[in-house]
Chain A
């Protein structure tokens, strides 16, 4: 699928600035040869990342997200396809001749150099005059809150500080785009959450395009303007965090992002742009028709998020809602909410989040027969691909 180019409000818009994507991949594929076999790490990715965008590539390990990023940086050459930076083709251009910088997962700081020398490395290679180097390094260290640590060696810094040195070392060069390869992966949860906010602030402050590779869906959802969910070398879904969460394009995306319930059955009728699946008496699922349409009798899979489902012991008023019956198999108290695992009459396992708002008691206990109901608007028919 081809992404549309998006520019952010408030970005300086020169003559070509808004039309030319910061990064564009056209049919990019990467194959490796191993033991005589050809292994496809990336299978034809088309992608356009807008100027100033916070763009995430999300997926499980081995999905091709890091390889895709390394092709943008120039560490790998694509087997097929082209890479463009600001409209200029850079396929096959050495990494030191590309105007993008990378923040590595392990930070990859130069262990034999001080913080200052690390941050100044790129500027020195570009022959920037020393007074300017000193000034820009000082500015950047102020942004990442490391003023006064210039003379420290990397090994004398904490993980979070090393992370910020890596960030400063890349950003000080004012690259046209910053590539971040799971930069928070090595930090503990608390620090990671703090750095997520920090990264977002820094990105707003410097206004640089961020391409962020992660396997952590929460990280991607909270920070990104847009997310490309990758699986098995291809982009499965590209969209805003909200689109991806609310309307997952494929079964994989629905399963990978958040907790998702998969339900399905044979379509018994079509009604006003919606498919109706009926089970037993009083049990029916109504779901908006998928894009490619469906005929009565065909099987249809759909997904509905756990927090969209109401769980009741009394039969809800029929109205327009989807209603399914089931038996509670597990109740997990989580403080602010309670998780109910329910086995439906059709045999699917469904998770329901119920906010512990005012009612102190559980809605149901293990073994109870319950009704699950939700607004058809909150469920989505999905295709395999």
Chain B
């Protein structure tokens, strides 16, 4: 009897925790998104779906921009992370764990602080831009801070480890003999990469995309610190609706709309590029 109950008892603390701090707030938010009223006189649940329609149409620019930034960030991260992960997995030797630790080291500093340090690097008077301007490599009125480039750069930097680690794990699992077998069967180094190494690393890329696209497109820190009014992302809109306008239903509705869009996107992506199918395509 007690043996049959044991698994349920073990799941109880975690389950309660999730129920209390995840499920309950989610339901409360969902309910809030369908309420009407104001801070002074209180809110009533009126199933007012119009909040969603208004929210999405008012802020569709920011929603599309966020998804676009998220997309570019993800692509840039694949391009940057793959060589790093490849190098650590195949050339890292006995220092692999040291390199992995170095990749994670910035995480010991808070997310906001890391982003602010980027601001120092990207300002017009920074030690990077100032010398370039002095020697005339870039024009005097050149800016990075406040541009989409700065925001995307910050996003790419901040979430890069979440792309490197899953790709590294996938590459690490490749049997070096399989790579040798490809070379033995007349594949050049480039063909070996295209036909064997990359296809076998795809599950890692797939996981990395999931782990970076979602937080990157819903991020509000990078645009806040590195961007300008022209780079406002949906995360910032939600934040200001909550904290500045105190328009709680709109903020909640936008949150859920974003969540739904991301879930649909991920689901479509997983269906279209399910790892099994990806591997079959690559094998041809």
CB distance A122 to B178 under 8 Å?
Answer: no
Binds A, one of B59-67, B184-192, B260-268: B184-192
Is the pair B180, A125 in contact by a Cβ cutoff of 8 Å?
Answer: no
Contact A108 B178 (CB under 8 A): yes
State whether the Cβ of A84 lies closer than 8 Å to any Cβ in chain B.
no
Q: Which of B180, B181, B183, B279 contacts A112 (CB 8 A)?
A: B279
Tell me whether A112 and B200 are in contact (CB under 8 A).
Answer: yes
| Inter-chain contact A125/B187, CB cutoff 8 Å | yes
Residue in contact with A126 in the complex, picked from B183, B186, B196, B199, CB distance below 8 Å: B186
By a CB distance below 8 angstroms, the chain B residues around A126 are: 186
A170 to B183, CA, bound (A): 12
B178 interface neighbour in A73, A110, A170, A173, Cβ under 8 Å: A110
Question: Which residues of B, 246-284, contact A by the 8 Å Cβ criterion?
Answer: 279-280, 282-284
Query: In this assembly, does A234 line the interface, its C-beta being within 8 Å of a C-beta of chain B?
Result: no
Instruction: Output the least CB separation between B100 and chain A (Å).
Output: 24
CB distance from B69 to the nearest CB of A (A): 32
B282 touches A112 (CB 8 A): yes
Q: How far is the CB of B188 from chain A (nearest CB, A)?
A: 6
Question: Bound complex: CA of A173 vs CA of B184, how far in Å?
Answer: 11
Instruction: Give the shortest distance, in Å, between A186 (CB) and chain B (any CB).
Output: 12
- CB of B182 within 8 Å of the partner chain: yes
The DSSP consensus for interface residues of chain B is: helix
A117 to chain B, nearest CB (A): 5
- Which of chain A's residues 100-130 have a Cβ closer than 8 Å to chain B? 101-102, 104-106, 108-114, 117, 121-122, 125-126
> How many Å lie between the Cα of A112 and that of B284 in the bound state?
10
Interface string of A64-107 (1 = CB under 8 A from B): 00000000011100000000000000000011110001101110
Complex Cα distance, B283 from A113, in Å, reads 6
Structural contact, A102 and B181, CB atoms closer than 8 A: yes
Interface residues of B in 138-181 (CB under 8 A from A): 175, 177-178, 180-181
Task: Output the least CB separation between B149 and chain A (Å).
Answer: 37
Which residues of the other chain, A, contact B279 by a CB distance below 8 angstroms?
112
Q: Are B187 and A96 in contact (CB under 8 A)?
A: yes
Do A125 and B185 touch across chains, with their CB atoms under 8 A apart? Answer: yes
Interface string of B184-219 (1 = CB under 8 A from A): 111110010001100110000000000000000000
Q: Are B177's CB and A121's CB within 8 A?
A: no
Interface hub of B181, B191, B196 (most chain A Cβ within 10 A): B181
Main SS class of interface, A? loop
Q: Which residue of A lies closest to B200 (CB)?
A: A112
> A121: nearest residue on chain B (CB-CB)?
B185
CA distance in complex: A102, B180 (Å): 9
**Quick check: B200 and A114 within 8 Å, CB to CB?**
no
| Distance from B213 Cβ to chain A, minimum over Cβ atoms (Å) | 24
Inter-chain contact B196/A95, CB cutoff 8 Å: no
Given known contacts A112-B199, A125-B187, A104 and B283 CB-to-CB distance under 8 angstroms: no
When C-beta atoms are compared, the residue in chain A nearest to B282 turns out to be: A112
Residues of A within 8 A of B180 (CB): 75, 95, 102, 104, 108
- CB of B175 within 8 A of CB of A106, answer yes
B175 surroundings in chain A (CB, below 8 A): 106, 108
Contact check, B178 vs A125: say whether CB atoms are below 8 A apart: no
| Chain B residues in the interface with A (C-beta under 8 A) | 175, 177-178, 180-188, 191, 195-196, 199-200, 279-280, 282-284
Binding site for B on A (CB under 8 A): 73-75, 94-97, 101-102, 104-106, 108-114, 117, 121-122, 125-126, 169-170, 173
Sampled A-B contacts (15; CB under 8 Å): A94-B183, A95-B184, A96-B187, A97-B186, A104-B177, A108-B175, A110-B196, A110-B283, A113-B283, A114-B283, A117-B284, A122-B185, A125-B185, A169-B181, A170-B184
